[in-house]
Amino acid sequence: MNALFVILPILIVAGAFLWLKPSPRDQFLAKLRSEALTRGFRVTSLRVPDTSEFGRVNQKQQIVTLYQIGLRLVDGEAPEFILLRTTGESGAYLPSGWTWDLRRHLSAEHYAYLAEFVTQLPDSISVISLSKDAVSLCWDEKDVAVTFDKLTHWLKDIAIGFRKELITA
């Protein structure tokens, strides 16, 4: 019985330290996002509608991690949009599997460009965003086929398609 009084506190203290240690997934994400920051990306989060069947039925929201590159600010009405991958009905002017969360000041040329652009992206890309000061993508960070070079290429393509200038370090 005395051994139990000695072992139990040791197990409690050891368990607390193990509980505080980041999981392998958390360590992987921290390393990935740290590398993104050193490569000039901004890493931020955004609340968007959950476009899965369960999310649509229950009107759920989800928080996604965006990898951004800044854009030079332009006076006037700059186009803005948020595109989401969906298993439901597609948005106007978009191919199957994509829907709008936000769209402002888009022209017919912009719609045509986006409809073509999203068809070349892998399934792991789930959110594309263009705001006045940044262009962003969200992807399944476990997809090893998506590299920072590819992300940069896709973000540059969006900026060029919308006649924006990236801010590069």
Question: With 90 as the cut, is the pLDDT of residue 51 above it?
Answer: no
pLDDT in tens, 60-77: 888 999 999 998 877 677
- Give the residue-averaged pLDDT of 143-148: 93
Angle at 130 between CA 107 and CA 166, to 5 degrees: 105
| pTM for this entry | 0.82
Residues forming a β-bridge with 46:
64
Q: In sequence order, which ranges of 21-163 are alpha helices (DSSP H)? A: 24-38, 53-58, 108-117, 148-161
Helix (H), strand (E) at residue 63: strand 61-70
Structural contact between residues 126 and 138, judged by C-beta atoms closer than 8 angstroms: yes
